[in-house]
Structure formats: C-alpha cells, structure tokens
Amino acid sequence: MSRRRKTSRSTATRADRTMAMPRWRQILLLLTVVPMAIGIVLFVAAWADWIFLGTQTGQTIAGALLALLGFAASNALQERWLLAGGWTALAGAVWLMVGHSNQTWAPWLGAAVAVIALILLGIMFVGRYREIRTPPSRR
C-alpha cells in the first residue's frame, strides 16, 4: 500500500497560481526580494549605528519603506490585492508619521492610514488563519 501525502486546497491553489504565472512575472517576483533585503539591512544597520545613507533617522525610514514596498510589490505580482494595499498603506503611514513629523496634520493622517493598513492586513491574516484551521472535511 502506498501512502499519498494529503495536500490542502490552499496549497494546491497556490502552486497552481505560481505555475500559471508567466515567466516575466516570476522573475519580477524574485527581484522583489532585493528591496526587501536592502531595506532590512538598512533598518538594522541604523540601529547598530552603521550609517550608509544620510542620517540615522533617514536610513531607518528608507529601510522601512524599501522593505514594506517590496512586500507590496511581491503581493501585487501574486494578485493578492488586499495585502499589497495593506503593505503600501503601512509604508505611507510610516512616511507620514516619521518623515513629516514637523507638520501638525501629518501624524494624525499617518495614524488614520496605519489603522486602514492594519485592517486590510488583519482581514487577510484572519482569513488565512481560518482557512488553515478549518478541518479538511469542511473545506
């Protein structure tokens, strides 16, 4: 008797989606790792007082924006629009709250955008959690 490994519907769907993706989109998806990696390096390096770009605050903001926009681009290429919108909105909130802190309106607008971003990301994460936790008989 051979045992077959059971796969969930979401895994098969994700694999089918990746295989159906044109080669140029697969290459672009792979290239989204570059801004994410550079952003994380810049962000962490600023905390370690290794400054490569301007000031420590500027490097931290640049690193955060690169990482968040890399996540957004990756999700957009995979047609996960709510996640792409959430990561983009979160990048906008960081830019407004930290980059324009001398303006009186910017932190408030940034906080509102951050709430919208967290709602979008939360919808996707809760949906994914429910999908994973649903027993196979109910799918």
Give the whole-angstrom CA distance, residue 127 versus residue 83. 12
| pLDDT above 70: percentage of residues in the chain | 84
Handedness of CA 115, 117, 118, 124 (dihedral sign): positive
Pure H helices in 7-55: 9-20, 23-31, 33-47
CA torsion 78→12→126→44, rounded to 10°? -50
Looking up tokens 């694999």 gives 15
Q: What is the pTM of this model?
A: 0.73
* Length of the chain (residues): 139
Q: Is 106 exposed, middle or buried (0-12, 13-18, 19+ CB in 10 A)?
A: middle
Name the residue with higher pLDDT: 4 or 15. 15
Is the pLDDT score of 4 beyond 90?
A: no
pLDDT tens figures, 65-103: 999 999 999 999 998 999 999 999 999 999 998 877 788
Least confident piece of the model among 86-95, 115-124, 129-138: 129-138
